[in-house]
Structure 1
Amino acid sequence: MSTSATGVMLRGARLVFWYAVFAAVSIVANLGSQSLAFHLYHGAHAVLLSVWVGTGVGLVVKYLLDKAWIFRYEHRSVVHGARTFALYVAMGLGTTLVFWAVEFGANALFHQEAARLAGGALGLVIGYITKYQLDKRFVFA
């Protein structure tokens, strides 16, 4: 194997490592804020509200980390930045539906917060694997 091929493999391995670390940070932010919201509000639709809060927090955390450290992407202007974020959100709609389906499915099956959060974590991992490819091709291209 050539030196340049080895360098490419090492860069790829580093990218996978840091993407996984940032995905884990985002998952903790998402599920932590979900749990906090769920414990602060016990009214009607508490689970739904907590999932919305967690999704929003996780989205912003993951976007900022991906933009700066994974894709090393610079905005040309505020408008360009807003468009990039909107495209990032749009690319995440399908993966968010997968995440929610797994989380709400676990909640419906087990009726326990721990099971719901575990389902959420699994759904997020599945979604992030897909989302990387979408972001690479369409958002931060």
Structure 2
Amino acid sequence: MIIIRYVLFALVSTVVNILFQYFSFIIYDGFLSLYVAMFFGTLAGLILKYILDKKYIFFHTPKSKKDDGRKFLLYSLMGVFTTFIFWGFEIGFDYMYESQNAKYIGAVIGLSIGYVVKYFLDKKFVFKG
């Protein structure tokens, strides 16, 4: 059952990420706009995914706000490597293909790979025990 929830939450977080990117491009489509959009999409997806994973995947109840902050920081640090996977695919697809939607296809592929890796990192290092 956890795997179904994890996949569902990954899909929801991916949609939120892509929507934030899409709206970012509507607001700003100038110099380095892809990187601005990726930043805001990543941030939105990260916060949502942390809340969902903490509560419904790893069943963690923070002892305090400080504990929750530490967990979020560690969760974010575990996401650095997986973010490079995601961003690499998105930037690569944007560069290789002329379609406006190519970057989103790359993002979905990169996020899918990253979320699989992130689950195991979070299980081993963030929400252990």
> Which consecutive segments of 4 or more residues in structure 1 shift more than 2 A?
none
Q: 112-121 or 19-28: which moved more?
A: 112-121
Q: Which amino acid aligns with 1:138?
A: F
In 2, distance between residues paired with 1:42 and 1:114? 15
Aligned residue number for residue 132 of structure 1? 119
Task: Structure 1: give runs of 5+ residues left out of the alignment.
Answer: 1-13
Secondary structure of 1:98's match? helix
TM-score norm. by structure 1 comes to 0.88
In 2, distance between residues paired with 1:105 and 1:28? 20
Task: Structure 2: give runs of 5+ residues left out of the alignment.
Answer: none
Matches within 5 A, 1:99-114: 99-114=86-101
Aligned residue number for residue 34 of structure 1? 21
Aligned residue number for residue 79 of structure 1? 66
TM-score norm. by structure 2 comes to 0.96
Identity of aligned residues (%): 39
1:69-104 deviations in whole A, cap 9, x for unaligned? 111101111111110000000001000000000110
Counterpart of 2:108 (choices 114, 121, 124) is 121
Aligned residue number for residue 8 of structure 2? 21
Q: CA RMSD in A?
A: 0.8
